[in-house]
Structure 1
Amino acid sequence: MATPSDVDGIDAVRMTWNVWPRSKLDASKCVVPIAASISPIRSSPDIPILPYLPLRCKTCDCTLNPYSRVDFPAKIWICPLCFQRNHFPPHYAAISETNMPAELYPQFSTVEYALPTAADPPRPVFLFVLDTCLIDEEMDFVKSALRRAVGLLPDHALVGFVSYGTQVHVHEIGFTDMSRVYIFRGTKELSQEQILDQLGLAVGQRAPKGGQTGFGSGIDSRFLLPASECEYTLNSLLDELQTDQWPVEAGNRASRCTGVALSVAAGMLGACFPGTGARIIALVGGPCTEGPGTIVSKDLSEPARSHKDLDKDAARHFKKAVKFYENLAKQLVGQGHVLDLFASALDQVGVAEMKVVVERTGGLVVLAESFGHSVFRDSFKRIFEGGEQSLGLSFNGTLEILCSKDIKIQGIIGPCTSLEKKGASSADIVIGQGNTTSWKMCGLDKSTCLTVFFDISPSERSQGTLNQQLYLQFLTNYQNPEGQMRLRVTTITRRWADSSANSEELVEGFDQETSAVVMARLISLKMEMEEEFDATRWLDRSLIRICSRFGDYRKDDPSTFTLNPNFSIFPQFMFNLRRSQFVQVFNNSPDETAYFRMLLNRESISNSVVMIQPSLISYSFSSPPAPALLDVTSISADRILLLDAYFSVVIFHGMTIAQWRNMGYQNLPDHQAFAQLLQAPHDDAQMIITDRFPVPRLVVCDQHGSQARFLLAKLNPSATYNSTHEVAAGSDVIFTDDVSLQVFFEHLQRLAVQS
């Protein structure tokens, strides 16, 4: 498998079109929007770290880069974006063609500047917020996960602890002789002032800030202490912590005030550490039933909202809860803090409502069935691990995008918030977080990926000076896991297409994987934002337009239709996207749909492609492991299949293999080959699981078993219960009325060639 860095290069930027059309009209004919997927801080050993400040263009703020034209004798550089002539400062006096700074070398289109950091760099802050309305077994699982997490934290990291059920308890961990708790009622919304006043953090009550420096007598050290100093106190606190003792009447849900708990946590961090990297890690085990953020009433006869309720506007708590979380998101973004959400419950807990605050602060999200499940346990551990397994959690980032004159930015889909800094290059049409040229990313990590949408608006002036190349520069300021301030600068160039008539150039620059993912992200956004939006119809129409624009055919003759190899698997991606959990919400709860979409919006292109179109590998005696068609015909009695559907990894044993395994053949000395065949998919599945966050669910099943549905749901139904052709012996059929890929493609050809 290619590592992500091979595909995306040092810049970690992939585009839907690598050659850009010249005009707005030509861009609209391309159907797939002009967009770039960027991973702002993906780690690569090839990126140089420069120990000095960047040189900026005096007109457009662009940073010196390999595409700048340099006049060495005159000591002048010309900005590629605005053509401004800039003088080198005196300390560049020795610059020459044989003595260049790193940022001018063509292979360093991405560089990172180490910015001056305070002598005592800011420490990372972790505030755990734990739901205690759990059964004893779940409580034990979550306590052991927390103990392990606190043990893995770096010694200098600051830790705090809040628990909640019917009320919110803020635990004072800086006072070891006697455990003290501040209690908040869970029923009413609290203002920032009330929270700080009750915690003794209001401006008049605060001692001199011991916050980030010596951490001695400062009031803040009551609630947040370095991990090395409070590990014992926290472990004792967890030992004594009980599940919520408030009585729950028969026929009712427990009273849970998730909204108030998160408000209190945000208020506390805002008073103690405004503007420095901090994370609220919320561990939620059920729905909020009282106070702000309520998603369902306490009465069990009222079910949690479904997609149907949301479509009909019949979910009475939904809009109010979303409004509450939008305000919380504003507050956290203003403070520079992150909300991470770990939801573990068999029913919904309100991920759909909380999506806005997790996504806008760049938080992590994991949805599992239980705090004892490996999906939660292993994912939670990954956050705190260092070394190879580290997620590279960074804080307090801002992204700024600069571009050539004729390019405007429509917005970004992904974990960030618009800073509303309108510049000359902000477009009027907004997609996602727009109306700006810079964005806030309170939390970001090595795998964070954003999708930027561009608009082309050539001015009258630029028509005369046809420059062949266009340039984009991405500037990411952030605090790395060690607390140092960094600025990463990526400058990329692409070519303008020569003329509108010539579509061959565009075809050569088409990236079908990136385009499929961008379409999936765009359609998910439209399904959330636009009422009565028919996703399947929109996708089908887009695909027909693309095929009739870029396919080769004779009018009205489907048999002559062919697609360039650069487009050849795009229809298949669209077929799988139509059937995916992003478009077909029927079988999923609003929480699951929100979860899938949040991950789709923040993962790399290669990971997102697997979410849309899973990969299938076949294992058999007759041949080495090989990729198999994502089709029901790949099932065979004497094969094992390994399906990677991103959120789950399925090992599927054919009937004969399962029978032999049940008879124990693999344990006999003369059947070593069979034992190895059984083991191989498990080893490969383990490799997939180790590299992925959140950790996927592993399903091991047999043909005709109840769990086989995890595989069958993802396969192309070329053989169904009403198929006309024969089904091979040992294969399988799918009980569905969905069309197969072949039928889909025949319809597509017919419609694409219509005059």
Structure 2
Amino acid sequence: MASFAEYIAQNEERDGVRFSWNVWPSSRLEATRMVVPIAALFTPLKERPDLPPIQYEPVLCSRATCRAVLNPLCQVDYRAKLWACNFCYQRNQFPPSYAGISEVNQPAELLPQFSTIEYVVQRGPPMPLLFLYVVDTCIEDDDLQALKESLQMSLSLLPPAALVGLITFGRMVQVHELGCEGISKSYVFRGTKDLNAKQLQEMLGLTKPAATQGRAPQTQQPLCNRFLQPVQKVDMNLTDLLGELQRDPWPVTQGKRPLRSLGVALSIAVGLLECTFPNTGARIMTFIGGPATQGPGMVVGDELKTPIRSWHDIEKDGAKFLKKATKHYESLASRAAANGHIIDIYACALDQTGLLEMKCCPNHTGSMGTLLVYSFHTPYKTTLTRLYLKLSVFFVNIFGLNSFSPQTSREVKVSGAIGPCVSLNAKGPCVSENEIGTGGTSQWKVCGFDPSTTLALYFEVVNQHNAPIPQGGRGAIQFVTQYQHSSGQRRIRVTTTARNWADAQSQIQSIAASFDQEAAAILMARLAVYRAETEEGPDVLRWLDRQLIRLVRHSTIYCPYCPLAAHLCSACFSLCSYWLFTFMFHLRRSPFLQVFNNSPDESSFYRHHFNRQDLTQALIMVQPVLYAYSFNGPPEPVLLDSSSILPDRILLMDTFFQILIYHGETVAQWRKAKYHEMPEYENFKHLLQAPVDDAQELLHTRFPMPRYIDTEHGGSQARFLLSKVNPSQTHNNMYTWGQESGAPILTDDVSLQVFMDHLKKLAVSSAA
């Protein structure tokens, strides 16, 4: 029999699912005591080359409140041609097309290896893909030139039949007409007045095709207008138009910020797509070089002496534009999400640009392209190129009116989801009253999918303690994902999975062995990050600590050998191991929960990517990976601890957002002496080059492109490494100075060992 570790890996590879618990407590009371809820990390469109689409529509349960899809867990009566739904137990008749089925002639959806299956439900002509560029012209000439070159390059990477449009903004907003030959023509709007879709439609002289109401347009209808044209038709004209873009001509007085009408520009972009291409896959790609300073959505005034809001201002309720701007962008995000339109934000500036207020736009619309850098030059260009390359390969999954819904057994209900999704307010019998994240619904909309987009789903066991589940019973969950394929087909991917029930009193060891620490850690981290959006930082940390203490205390209940005295025995940590404590220690110090030394924009950027990445990438974000290079052997992973920082080592740290190479004190001195340029020290040259090669490989595959840092002992940028490692040795541990046991960190932060000791002490005192 496969171990739980192998079972978990097989399920993730086949179905893209990781549960926190792989054996479930059979009652609501026991599930509550487990502290970590039953939850799943689900990657709806996980790449499966061995998954051919089925060329017919799925068979659904006939009960109106269920509508589950036929799956391998259903009981089938081949003689009577009936099947019993494993969710509501409704007996259903097979359609006539299944007349030939038997025990030896089963359709694919009944085979155990097809717990994930994909159906083609609609064949048709390709739907148009739309790219609407919204470009800030209030940036320096050097950055504007780099941005124009990037946009011109991007045109060659778009699908030829894709529609493209251009809106530029500064003090005024210009909607460029692309159908004109030999002349540049645009409609100019004031940057201080908002417009709804109907007003915009009248001003631009656009008509809304009646046939497109409620569904995507077909190819026999006009698929373009004066403002949105196929790339292959306007490639040359648009390239010239981009090349001719100039800085905003309105003068900027000394001591003032340029007047930037970002809120109105985004509103016009959303309205333009809303009135011309509703319910059609589209991306609004917004390139900004500073904060909005006038009109709806402004985040700061034009006086340079007035700085943009900080965390301190927000805590003291001193950010006077925050609430009004946030409300404006939330309205735009809701309108865009309702029509399946994605809003990408590329913010390139030395100061903040208002991403905190605009975070709902990428978060609610499923953006994968949100970027926060300091310049429109090399790192930005590389990231944008990779985005378009991903679009050209995966645009099958990135556009369209995608929806996602789970179906559950009677004993389980859905509490909510955390990720790049919005609620569709679909009430049903499987919806829990206890909401977690985006709850109160059994169906969500995800405008932008890619193969790594991962949602966190939280469930609640509702079976009562006095209602035993029959021996051998299993709880089942079915995930149904609808999306648009590049061929024009609508597809449904169905994943059905089940887990055993167990009595927490008599089978605690089985439940404990099924605990997936990695999945549980990320699921709890997403909960903490979600709470951090609306609660004070210290309150979130206290909540996280209480959860850990409860988990330890719960573990001691089932440990007959623990005296509950001054310490906890090792058996008490069957549920919560050293690794989980280490992860939570680094989570408490991460930029997802700690706002110190991070601007509000940076925190929003980090949280956006954390809430959409898969488990592997999310683990790296919280607990970076550290590799050591030395003459003692090949590169090896080492602890993220100050004891790993040795003079004769080179360290490579991957934090997802940064790739850092750190040279120890001795190695740095050898490098300064240029030993690597001497023929007799060829091995030292290879040692220096090895981490660089590995870093370049990461830089070439990661999206968005990480920041590359090359530093050494005593260097100013070494702080990025020192702030991430566990400070097991500090200036307070004077006996470690001068010893070959690592580098002491000048900090007052507690170490992992102190954190764990204090946690154990609190758990024991609470349980006593």
Q: TM tier, shorter chain?
A: over 0.9
- For residue 742 of structure 1, what is the amino acid of its counterpart? Q
Report if aligned partners of 2:72, 2:110 keep a CA contact under 8 Å in 1.
yes
Q: Please give the alpha-carbon distance, in whole angstroms, between the structure 2 residues aligned to 1:133 and 1:6.
A: 52
Once the two structures are TM-superposed, the CA of residue 435 in structure 1 deviates from its matched residue by 1.1
Task: Show the counterpart of 2:565.
Answer: 556
Once the two structures are TM-superposed, the CA of residue 465 in structure 1 deviates from its matched residue by 5.3
Task: Show the counterpart of 1:694.
Answer: 704
Q: Please give the alpha-carbon distance, in whole angstroms, between the structure 2 residues aligned to 1:137 and 1:358.
A: 27
Report if aligned partners of 2:555, 2:575 keep a CA contact under 8 Å in 1.
no
Report if aligned partners of 2:197, 2:274 keep a CA contact under 8 Å in 1.
no
507-516 or 660-669, which deviates more: 660-669
Report if aligned partners of 1:341, 1:358 keep a CA contact under 8 Å in 2.
yes
| Inter-CA distance 459–48: structure 2 relative to 1 (3 Å threshold) | farther
| Inter-CA distance 210–223: structure 2 relative to 1 (3 Å threshold) | farther
Task: Show the counterpart of 1:79.
Answer: 85
Report if aligned partners of 1:341, 1:364 keep a CA contact under 8 Å in 2.
no
| Inter-CA distance 461–500: structure 2 relative to 1 (3 Å threshold) | closer
Task: Show the counterpart of 2:273.
Answer: 269
- For residue 136 of structure 1, what is the amino acid of its counterpart? D
Task: Show the counterpart of 1:751.
Answer: 762
Superposed CA deviations along residues 50-79 of structure 1, whole A, max 9, x for unmatched, are: 111111111111111111122222222111
Task: Show the counterpart of 1:732.
Answer: 743
Query: Counterparts of 1:685-724 in structure 2 under 5 Å?
Result: 685-724=695-734
| Inter-CA distance 733–53: structure 2 relative to 1 (3 Å threshold) | same
Say whether 1:631 aligns with 2:637: no
Equivalent in 202, 226, 233 of residue 230 of structure 2: 226
Task: Show the counterpart of 1:674.
Answer: 684
728-737 or 319-328, which deviates more: 728-737
Task: Show the counterpart of 2:458.
Answer: 453
Say whether 1:544 aligns with 2:549: yes
Q: Secondary structure at the match of 1:183?
A: strand
| Inter-CA distance 155–461: structure 2 relative to 1 (3 Å threshold) | farther
Once the two structures are TM-superposed, the CA of residue 659 in structure 1 deviates from its matched residue by 2.3
159-168 or 540-549, which deviates more: 540-549
| Inter-CA distance 648–311: structure 2 relative to 1 (3 Å threshold) | same
- For residue 457 of structure 1, what is the amino acid of its counterpart? V
Say whether 1:407 aligns with 2:417: no
Q: Please give the alpha-carbon distance, in whole angstroms, between the structure 2 residues aligned to 1:572 and 1:79.
A: 43
Once the two structures are TM-superposed, the CA of residue 531 in structure 1 deviates from its matched residue by 5.3
Superposed CA deviations along residues 227-266 of structure 1, whole A, max 9, x for unmatched, are: 1111101110011100111111111111111111011011
Task: Show the counterpart of 1:357.
Answer: 361
- For residue 319 of structure 1, what is the amino acid of its counterpart? K
Say whether 1:339 aligns with 2:339: no
Query: Counterparts of 1:174-573 in structure 2 under 5 Å?
Result: 174-202=179-207, 213=219, 220-385=224-389, 390=394, 392-458=397-463, 463=468, 468-500=473-505, 502-530=507-535, 534-551=539-556, 552=559, 553-558=562-567, 560-562=569-571, 563-564=573-574, 567-573=577-583
Say whether 1:43 aligns with 2:44: no
Q: Secondary structure at the match of 2:446?
A: strand
Once the two structures are TM-superposed, the CA of residue 566 in structure 1 deviates from its matched residue by 6.5
Equivalent in 96, 115, 118 of residue 112 of structure 1: 118
| Inter-CA distance 42–431: structure 2 relative to 1 (3 Å threshold) | same
Q: Please give the alpha-carbon distance, in whole angstroms, between the structure 2 residues aligned to 1:304 and 1:736.
A: 30
Q: Please give the alpha-carbon distance, in whole angstroms, between the structure 1 residues aligned to 2:13 and 2:32.
A: 28
Report if aligned partners of 1:641, 1:652 keep a CA contact under 8 Å in 2.
yes
Q: Secondary structure at the match of 2:265?
A: helix
Q: Secondary structure at the match of 1:82?
A: coil
Unaligned runs of 5+ in 1: none
Once the two structures are TM-superposed, the CA of residue 13 in structure 1 deviates from its matched residue by 0.8
Q: Please give the alpha-carbon distance, in whole angstroms, between the structure 1 residues aligned to 2:642 and 2:212.
A: 68
Q: Please give the alpha-carbon distance, in whole angstroms, between the structure 1 residues aligned to 2:565 and 2:348.
A: 54
Task: Show the counterpart of 2:600.
Answer: 590
Q: Secondary structure at the match of 1:470?
A: strand
Q: Secondary structure at the match of 1:534?
A: helix
588-597 or 684-693, which deviates more: 684-693
Q: Please give the alpha-carbon distance, in whole angstroms, between the structure 1 residues aligned to 2:673 and 2:538.
A: 53
Superposed CA deviations along residues 388-428 of structure 1, whole A, max 9, x for unmatched, are: 97575232200111000121111111101000111111111
Superposed CA deviations along residues 573-627 of structure 1, whole A, max 9, x for unmatched, are: 1111111111111111111111111111111011111111111010111121111
Superposed CA deviations along residues 158-208 of structure 1, whole A, max 9, x for unmatched, are: 111111111111111111221100111001222222211111115599999
Report if aligned partners of 2:646, 2:741 keep a CA contact under 8 Å in 1.
yes
Once the two structures are TM-superposed, the CA of residue 136 in structure 1 deviates from its matched residue by 0.5
Percent identity between matched residues is 43
Q: Please give the alpha-carbon distance, in whole angstroms, between the structure 2 residues aligned to 1:179 and 1:505.
A: 71
Q: Secondary structure at the match of 2:681?
A: helix
Superposed CA deviations along residues 319-361 of structure 1, whole A, max 9, x for unmatched, are: 1111111111221122121111111111111111111121111
Report if aligned partners of 1:55, 1:63 keep a CA contact under 8 Å in 2.
yes
Q: Please give the alpha-carbon distance, in whole angstroms, between the structure 1 residues aligned to 2:749 and 2:79.
A: 69
Superposed CA deviations along residues 642-692 of structure 1, whole A, max 9, x for unmatched, are: 101111111111122222223333233333322221121122222322332
196-205 or 50-59, which deviates more: 196-205
| Inter-CA distance 92–745: structure 2 relative to 1 (3 Å threshold) | same
Q: Please give the alpha-carbon distance, in whole angstroms, between the structure 2 residues aligned to 1:679 and 1:439.
A: 48
Superposed CA deviations along residues 131-170 of structure 1, whole A, max 9, x for unmatched, are: 1110011101111111111111111111111111111111
Report if aligned partners of 1:35, 1:452 keep a CA contact under 8 Å in 2.
yes
Superposed CA deviations along residues 199-231 of structure 1, whole A, max 9, x for unmatched, are: 111559999999753677x7x421111111111
Q: Please give the alpha-carbon distance, in whole angstroms, between the structure 1 residues aligned to 2:150 and 2:221.
A: 27
| Inter-CA distance 52–463: structure 2 relative to 1 (3 Å threshold) | same
Once the two structures are TM-superposed, the CA of residue 543 in structure 1 deviates from its matched residue by 1.0
Q: Please give the alpha-carbon distance, in whole angstroms, between the structure 1 residues aligned to 2:755 and 2:537.
A: 24
Q: Please give the alpha-carbon distance, in whole angstroms, between the structure 2 residues aligned to 1:697 and 1:355.
A: 21
- For residue 298 of structure 2, what is the amino acid of its counterpart? T
Task: Show the counterpart of 1:18.
Answer: 22
| Inter-CA distance 6–303: structure 2 relative to 1 (3 Å threshold) | farther
Task: Show the counterpart of 2:618.
Answer: 608
Q: Please give the alpha-carbon distance, in whole angstroms, between the structure 1 residues aligned to 2:420 and 2:331.
A: 17
465-474 or 441-450, which deviates more: 465-474
Q: Please give the alpha-carbon distance, in whole angstroms, between the structure 2 residues aligned to 1:177 and 1:388.
A: 30
Unaligned runs of 5+ in 2: 1-5
Report if aligned partners of 1:5, 1:12 keep a CA contact under 8 Å in 2.
no
- For residue 312 of structure 2, what is the amino acid of its counterpart? K
| Inter-CA distance 234–97: structure 2 relative to 1 (3 Å threshold) | same
Count how many residue pairs are aligned between Structure 1 and Structure 2: 750
Once the two structures are TM-superposed, the CA of residue 22 in structure 1 deviates from its matched residue by 2.1
Say whether 1:651 aligns with 2:661: yes
Once the two structures are TM-superposed, the CA of residue 522 in structure 1 deviates from its matched residue by 0.8
Equivalent in 59, 71, 92 of residue 65 of structure 1: 71
- For residue 18 of structure 2, what is the amino acid of its counterpart? R
Task: Show the counterpart of 1:129.
Answer: 134
109-118 or 727-736, which deviates more: 727-736
Report if aligned partners of 2:339, 2:401 keep a CA contact under 8 Å in 1.
no
Once the two structures are TM-superposed, the CA of residue 732 in structure 1 deviates from its matched residue by 1.9
Q: Secondary structure at the match of 1:444?
A: coil
